[in-house]
A and B are shown apart, each in its own frame.
Chain A
Amino acid sequence: MNRVVEVSNLSKSFGRVVAVNQVSFSIEAGKIYGLLGRNGAGKTTIMRLITAQLFPTSGEVKVFGAHPYENSRVLSQICAVSDRQKYPNGYRVLDVLEQAAFFFPQWDQEYAFALVEAFRLPLSRLMKALSRGMLSAAGVIVGLASRAPLTIFDEPYLGLDAVARSIFYDRLLEDYAEHPRTVILSTHLIDEISRLLEHILVIDQGRLVLDEDAEALRGRAFTVVGPAARVDTFTAGKELLARSPLGGQVAATIMGNRNMEDRKQAEALGLSLAPVSLQQLLVHLTSEQSARKAVEVR
């Protein structure tokens, strides 16, 4: 498989703060990845290391097989958009699109204008006069129309309203189908985008805690509910993610595939099993109360 990004033992410290801690993963060509984690987990720092906006403290980043720093061959193939993007004074929406057209070899100007219309963006408005939602829309348009072989959206949808987010998801899937490329969506809002993702990376406190196919994760954990003593009998020897009591009842979340054996045991004990959503699973994996952290999921 063709690897677009290879990160090995990557660390980044800011003074005494370790933002990224010994992270290794690779990104394969032509897939949509989710880089998920709580605020401050280190997602943006990893993005900025990949896009050569930061130097690593230790470890290595390779993008399209080369070091990205001051490498215009590599950098022209990456489009990274973020709400924090600063634009020069006096820049209008149109100027941003023209700059992007100049910078990205695969830029599609006609498509960009179609997107401007879909997101109802005023072309002659100054960037600094745009509302938060319009600023997000401008970023999304640049990201989509760049058709960059590696396109990174760092929480681009925070400012978008529900209608605009839905347009973004539709256009992303549509254009990705016609022009396959590698996409990384970074966010802490998992619910809305989980179905768009093929692969999921989860960062917590600077560490990589999960690197897994999205479909394999669905149905990977389940919750068992019933009287405390019987639930504890059931969970004995199993990987416990969370346990919350309610009166004499207990709800315990376990890693496992709800196989036939589990079903039979639960049935024998009179316990009910319920699936755990991706969002809930990630909350369990990245919350302080988690009984188990940074452990292999397999």
Chain B
Amino acid sequence: MEYLIDENRPIFVQIAERIENDIIAGELPEEAQVPSTNQFASFYQINPATAGKGVNLLVDQGMLYKKRGLGMYVAPGARAKLLEKRREQFFEQYVMTMLREAEKLGITTEQVIEMVHRRVNVP
């Protein structure tokens, strides 16, 4: 599974992102159990402490919570909170990146808007 991990970024951040994506996609619904640190470690062939750091990041943000002796679970309301967070990031991560690239290529903002409309109008 090594190809799933990008060696250039902190791995614990990537583990947290994977869990977030699964929560957003509904694959990990609220109150569902999250795989254990050791399961993550053996699946991605990474150090268990690194996997644990990724899980704890989401615990600190209130997305996951610990049931003593059982493991980690998705907190109620986690999906709504994540959606809100990702929507805030959407502007900088996607819109601004796209506009900067458009500027480099000599595409005006109006042309970009026109392209978006064109895509939206395709059935």
**A→B interface (CB under 8 Å):** 31-32, 169-170, 173-174, 176-177, 191, 194-198, 214-216, 218-219, 267, 275-279
Known: A174-B38, A196-B47. 6 other contacts (CB 8 A): A32-B47, A177-B37, A195-B7, A197-B47, A275-B9, A276-B8
Which residues of chain B from 27 to 76 have any CB-CB distance to chain A below 8 Å in the complex?
37-38, 41-42, 44-50, 53
Evaluate contact between B45 and A177: CB separation under 8 angstroms: no
Is residue B11 within 8 Å, beta carbon to beta carbon, of the partner chain? yes
Measured between alpha carbons, how far is A177 from B46 in the docked complex, in Å?
Answer: 11
A-B contact pairs, 27 of them (CB 8 A): A170-B42, A173-B42, A173-B45, A173-B46, A173-B47, A173-B48, A174-B38, A176-B48, A177-B37, A177-B41, A195-B2, A195-B11, A195-B50, A196-B45, A198-B47, A198-B49, A214-B47, A214-B50, A215-B10, A215-B11, A215-B12, A218-B11, A219-B8, A219-B9, A267-B100, A275-B8, A276-B8
Q: In the complex, are the beta carbons of A218 and B45 less than 8 A apart?
A: no
Which residues does chain B contribute within 8 Å of A176, judged by CB atoms?
A: 48
State the B residues within 8 Å of A (CB): 2, 5, 7-12, 37-38, 41-42, 44-50, 53, 100
A269–B106 Cα distance when bound, in Å, is: 18
Among B7, B42, B44, contact of A277 (Cβ-Cβ < 8 Å): B7
- A195→B44 CA distance, assembly (Å): 9
- Measured CA separation A173–B43 after assembly (Å): 10
A197 CA to B37 CA, complexed, in Å = 15
Residue numbers in A under 8 Å from B11 (CB-CB): 195, 215, 218
B46 near A196: Cβ-Cβ < 8 Å? yes
* In the complex, chain A residues whose CB is within 8 Å of the CB of B7: 191, 194-195, 218, 277-279
Q: Which of B44, B45, B53 contacts A215 (CB 8 A)?
A: B53
Cα-based distance from A134 to B34 in the complex (angstroms):
39
The residue among A31, A169, A214, A218 with the most chain B CB atoms within 10 A of its own CB is A218
CB distance from A224 to the nearest CB of B (A): 15
Closest-CB distance, B42 to chain A (whole angstroms): 6
Given contacts A170-B42, A195-B44, A195-B47, contact A218 B10 (CB under 8 A): yes
Contacts of A169 in B (CB 8 A): 45
Neighbour of A174 across the interface among B5, B42, B50, B100, CB < 8 A: B42
Docked Cα-Cα span, A174 to B37, in Å, equals 11
Known: A219-B10, A275-B8. A195 touches B42 (CB 8 A): no
Are the C-beta atoms of B42 and A198 separated by less than 8 Å? no
> Are B49 and A31 closer than 8 Å at their CB atoms?
yes
State how many angstroms separate the Cβ of B39 from the closest Cβ of chain A. Answer: 9
CB of A275, distance to nearest CB on chain B (Å): 4
Residues of A within 8 A of B9 (CB): 218-219, 275
Of A32, A195, A198, the residue contacting B45 (CB under 8 A) is A195
Q: How far is the CA of A191 from the CA of B9 in the complex (A)?
A: 14
Q: Which residues of B contact A214 (CB under 8 A)?
A: 47, 50
Per the bound structure, the CA–CA distance linking A279 and B46 in Å amounts to 16
Question: Nearest Cβ in chain A — how far from B97, in angstroms?
Answer: 11
How far is it, in angstroms, between the C-alpha of A214 and the C-alpha of B11 when the chains are bound?
A: 10
Establish whether residues A195 and B48, one from each chain, have CB atoms under 8 Å apart when the complex forms: no
- Give complex CA distance A17, B57 in Å: 47
Q: Residue of B at shortest CB range from A192?
A: B2
- B5 and A195 within 8 A (CB): yes
| Closest B residue by C-beta to A279 | B7
Contacts of A218 in B (CB 8 A): 7-11
Residue of B nearest to A280 (CB): B8
Residues of A within 8 A of B12 (CB): 215
**How far is A149 from B65 in the complex, measured between Cα atoms in Å?**
32
CB-CB under 8 A from B50, the residues of chain A are: 195, 198, 214-215
What is the CA–CA distance of A173 and B45 in the complex, to the nearest angstrom? 7
